[in-house]
Amino acid sequence: MKKLAKNAKKASKELLRLDSKMKNQIFDELIHHLEKRKKDVLEENKKDLENAFNNDLNSAMVDRLKLTDERFDQMVAGVEAIKNQPDMVGEFYGEFTNDLGLKIKRQRVPLGVILMIFESRPNVVIDCAALALKSSNSIILKGGKEAKHSNEILGEIIQDSLQKFISPEAVQVLASDSREQVEELLSLKDDIDVVIPRGGHGLINYVYETAKMPVIAHYQGLCHMYLDKEADVDQAINLAINAKTQRTGVCNAIETLIIHEDILPKIAQKLVAKFDSKGTQLKVDKGFQGAITQELENATDEDWQTEYLDNVLSVKTVKNLDEAIEHIDQYGSHHSECIVSTNEKTCAEFLKRVDASCVMINASTRFNDGGQLGLGAELGISTTKLHAYGPMGVEQMTTSRYVVLGDGQIRE
């Protein structure tokens, strides 16, 4: 692992020499190899899905693992989108001239070598490889054993795409079933600049406790939507349904719906009917239960703390905005939070006081996604404020340094 990390560091220096034209050629090669081997990738993915069923993986994990024709094409489209983004590495900004005539500006530079540890979702391999190349970072990718076959073939495709242009060590996809590799890599702070864990509570804690280099955590999505007393009823119902059921096993789907008690008579029964049509299991508090005719399961404190990643939704009623924000502060994971209201002052107050990587106002939480927010794809959604907060695209995979242009000035 030490040799692998040193090779990644060496390759990161090679990446600094690549211009936009050369990067585009690499992206074109990657797209070509992906399209050429689409059938092979989907066949390998089927092996992982078969193992998932045999090992009784939950439906959320299977959904994340699955590559369909559509998802594969979206993955390729993501590479194309990243290719077409402007190059940020080496870009200057914030220039000014001081009293001594020194021209001072900032320049975007890569982070260096990134170690990415993630669970399920084989598309992460391609998304992260493309983002790393665009931002001139080397990356070491370690996926979970549940996606072993998918990750391996995608790693081969990346290596085949790189070898004509640059050292293949710029992107390395590790075997998916070796925990010992990860433990050793997390100790190599001289060659690995940052580690990004993307997954559940256990993975995040393990990396935090073990890593010797900085950690940017991409933690769970315990997301909320607050329906204010001044929400448009039809809009609120549509947004809640989309945010929960459009795809249930993803981190930007809501897990708790918070509703102002004043709007319950207008909306509660309609919400129950809509969610019932989507097969959603509702767990509700006493306030919501009192506004409907059906008897539903009671929500517990454990439910407020649970990222279901399934077609299950907790419902909480509140008396005012303060109570809604207090609930989010207590149980949220700084991922995605939403308010639905026609009152601009209420929305502004929510925005000012809620701490999350992305705040939605009258829009589904499902839009907190790199592709949807114009990044092409994402390394993940950072819930750590340092060094990035929210979806990590090319810009978030760089840092900045100062460049000072002088003409012989000295400091007195």
Please state, in angstroms and rounded to a whole number, the distance separating the CA atoms of residues 116 and 176. Answer: 12
Please state, in angstroms and rounded to a whole number, the distance separating the CA atoms of residues 134 and 395. Answer: 10
* 313 strand-pairing partners: 282
In this predicted model, what pLDDT tens digit does every residue of 341-358 receive, in sequence order?
Answer: 999 999 999 999 999 999
What pLDDT score does 280 carry? 97
Please state, in angstroms and rounded to a whole number, the distance separating the CA atoms of residues 75 and 2. Answer: 31
In the block, tokens 């600049």 appear at: 193
Alpha-carbon dihedral 280, 283, 287, 292, rounded to 10 degrees: 40
Tokens of 312: 């299950």
Closest CA to 146 of 67, 248, 37, 57: 57
What pLDDT score does 98 carry? 97
In this predicted model, what pLDDT tens digit does every residue of 170-182 receive, in sequence order?
Answer: 999 997 666 778 8
Query: Per-residue confidence of the chain (412 residues) as pLDDT tens digits?
Result: 999 999 999 999 999 999 999 999 999 999 999 999 999 999 999 999 999 999 988 887 888 899 999 999 999 999 999 999 999 999 999 999 999 999 999 999 999 999 999 887 899 999 999 999 999 999 999 998 899 999 999 999 999 999 999 999 999 999 766 677 889 999 999 999 999 998 878 888 999 999 999 999 888 899 999 999 999 999 999 999 999 999 998 999 999 999 999 999 999 999 999 999 999 999 999 999 999 999 999 999 999 999 999 999 999 999 999 999 999 999 999 999 999 999 999 999 999 999 999 999 999 999 999 989 988 888 889 998 888 999 999 999 999 999 999 999 999 8
Q: Which residues, at least 6 apart from 19, have a Cβ–Cβ distance to it below 8 Å?
A: none
What pLDDT score does 386 carry? 86
The two most distant CA atoms of the chain are separated, in Å, by 81
What pLDDT score does 13 carry? 96
In this predicted model, what pLDDT tens digit does every residue of 74-118 receive, in sequence order?
Answer: 999 999 999 999 999 999 999 999 999 999 999 999 999 999 998
What pLDDT score does 157 carry? 97
Q: Hey, what domains does the chain have and what are their CATH numbers?
A: 2-218+379-405 (3.40.605.10), 223-367 (3.40.309.10)
What pLDDT score does 176 carry? 61
Please state, in angstroms and rounded to a whole number, the distance separating the CA atoms of residues 139 and 12. Answer: 9
Please state, in angstroms and rounded to a whole number, the distance separating the CA atoms of residues 275 and 57. Answer: 25
Closest CA to 55 of 141, 151, 148: 148
Closest CA to 328 of 224, 228, 244, 219: 224
Angle at the Cα of 226 (from 220 to 229), degrees rounded to 5?
A: 175
Specify the pTM. 0.90
Helix (H, G, I), strand (E, B) or coil at 402: strand
Tokens of 200: 């559940």
Please state, in angstroms and rounded to a whole number, the distance separating the CA atoms of residues 101 and 88. Answer: 27
Please state, in angstroms and rounded to a whole number, the distance separating the CA atoms of residues 247 and 241. Answer: 10
What pLDDT score does 152 carry? 94
Q: Omega into 149 within 30° of 0, i.e. cis?
A: no
Q: Given the DSSP bridges, would you call strands 381-382 and 358-361 parallel, antiparallel or unpaired? A: unpaired
